[in-house]
Amino acid sequence: MKSNYLAAIAASFALAPALAMAAPVGLDAFGPNEQFESFENFVPAGQPGVRVQSQNITFASGVTLVPSGFTTGIQELANQTPSGCYGISYGAGAFPDGTAAICTNTFTTPQTGALTGLEFILPVNAIRAGAYVDTTGSAGTIIIQARDANGQVLEERRIADPAGIDNISNNFFGIDVGAPNINSIFISSVESLGLIIDRVTFEGPADMAPTANAGDDQSVRMLGETVTLDGSASFDDNTASGDLQYAWQLTGKPAGSAGALTGASTAMPSFVADAAGTYTASLVVTDSIGQASPADEVTVSTANLAPTADAGPNRVGLVNDVIVLDGSGSSDPEGMALNYAWSLDNVPAGSNAVLANTNSVSPNLIPDRAGLYGVSLVVSDNLGPSDPDTAEITVLTRSDFASMKIACAADLIADLPESAVKTKGNQKALLNYLGAAAKAVQRPDYEKAVERIEFTLKRADGCFVNGVADGNGVSRDWVEECGAQLEIYRCLDQARTALQP
C-alpha cells in the first residue's frame, strides 16, 4: 500500500512540472549532484545494537544531527535481523543501505502542539532534501520540514503511514524548494511513536567552477623586501577554500630581476622584490572535482614614495601656557592615509614637561621651564615611515616675553618716519613711556608696566578700533599711519596679555 501511495505522489509530480517549486519529490528524483548520509560511519562495524546518543552528532558527510529533548539510537544492522530499536523488530533487507539506521521516539506536546523530532543540518544549502523514513507503529503520520538558516519552515509535508513498519526502501520523502535555501530538514510524527530513518539525501546547485582571488595590489618601498601574496579569499561553491588547489605564476617582473615564487602551490606564496619596477602574479585555483578557475592577477610595484613629515614652524611660547603643535602640513605623494608619531627630543634642564597625544596631528605641550624645547615628527603610510622633521619651541618667562614685545614696539616706533607721527616730540614721548614700562617689568611691577603699555596703546589704536587714525582731540593718535599702528598694537597687546594675571 505504501508503494502505491508513493507511486501516486511521484506520478502527480511528473504530470505537473509547473509545481516543481516547493513540490514533493519521489524516489530517484535527485540529480547528479546528489549527496547522502547513511550513518554507517558512526556505529563501529561488528558492534550490533543500539548506540544511544543525546548530543549533536556530525557524520562524515558533514551532516549534523540535532536531537530535540530525547535520546537518539543509532542501530547497527550488519545484514542481520536485529531487534531492540525501542522494542521493534525489523529485517535488515528492508533498508536501502543495510548497515545502520537511526531510530528515535517522537511525541507532541499536548499544551502547545509542539513537535519533537530530529533535525539534520546540511553541510551545504540544498535545493532538494529528503530521507527514507518509516514509523514503528500503525496509523502514524510522518512529518518532514525543509527549514532555512534561520530555522523558518520553507515547506512541510505530512504523509499518512497506515501500515506501520514495512519496506523502508519504498518510503523516500523529499521536498524541492527550487533554490539553494534548505539549511536543514526536520523529521517527526504527529503521534507519540517511533521513527526509523535510514538515509538523508540532499542536492545543492550544480557545481560551479571556483573563483580565484589573488589579493589586493601591493607596493614595496625597499628593494630586497620579501613580498607575500594572499589567495586565501579564493572560494568555491562545494569545496572549502582550504581544500582548493593553488597554482601561482610570476607572469611579469622588471628587467634584471631574478625574483621567483616560493610556495607557488600554496595560498600564500612569496618572492623577493630585487629590482625596481612592477611585478605581476597570476593565480588559478582548482576545486575537488578538477574544475579550474579563470586566472586572477595581482601587481606589486616599487613606485610608492615615502611620505613627508612637516612638524610646523619654530614657535615662541610662555612657561605654563599650552602650546599646540601642528603636523597638518605633512603629506603622502600617493594620497595615502598617514599615521603620526611625535617625540619630545630635548627640554631645558630641570624640565618635566611631556608631549600629550603624540599620535595625533596636533599634540600639545605645557612647558614648565624657560628655554629651548625640540620636537620631531615622523609620519607613516601603510608601507613605512618618512624621514623625521623637527621644530624648536623657545619658551620664555612672562617677564622676558613682555620685555621682548615692548622692545619690538619700541623698535617700530623709533624707525617711524616724520610723516607717520604727529610730531617728533610725540614720538620721543612714546619711547619714554615704553622705556618706563620695560623698567617696571624688571623690578618687577607688572601693574605699573601694564599702565605704561596701555597709555602707549591709546596713542596708536584708532586704526585697530575704528579703522582710521584718531584725529585731533584728547585721545588723538600720535602714530598716524594705519600700517605702522597695527604692527605696534600687535606687539604691545601681546606684552600686556603676558603680564596680566
Q: What is the mean pLDDT of each run of 10 residues along the chain (501 residues)?
A: 22 25 40 57 55 72 75 61 52 65 70 74 85 77 90 89 64 84 89 79 78 91 91 86 94 95 96 94 93 94 90 92 95 92 96 95 95 96 90 93 91 90 89 91 91 90 82 79 89 90 79
Return the pLDDT at 83: 47
Return the pLDDT at 20: 28
Report the C-alpha gap between 294 and 292 in whole angstroms: 7
Phi, psi of 21 (to 5 degrees): -65, 120
Cell numbers for 190, please give them.
Answer: 504527529
Per the CB < 8 A criterion, the answer to whether 248 and 229 are in contact is yes
Return the pLDDT at 282: 97
Return the pLDDT at 28: 39
Cell numbers for 172, please give them.
Answer: 523516500
Cell numbers for 370, please give them.
Answer: 624657560
Phi, psi of 275 (to 5 degrees): -145, 150
Q: How many CB atoms are located within 10 Å of the residue 113 CB?
A: 8
Q: Give residues with Cβ within 8 angstroms of 359, minimum separation 6.
A: 339, 340, 341, 342
Helix, strand, or coil (residue 317): strand
Whether omega for the bond prior to residue 333 falls within 30 degrees of 0, making it cis, is no
Return the pLDDT at 69: 61
Per the CB < 8 A criterion, the answer to whether 184 and 119 are in contact is yes
What Cα–Cα distance (Å) separates residue 414 from each residue in 405, 424, 435, 477? 14, 10, 12, 16
- Eight-class DSSP state of 292: B
pTM, 2 dp: 0.43
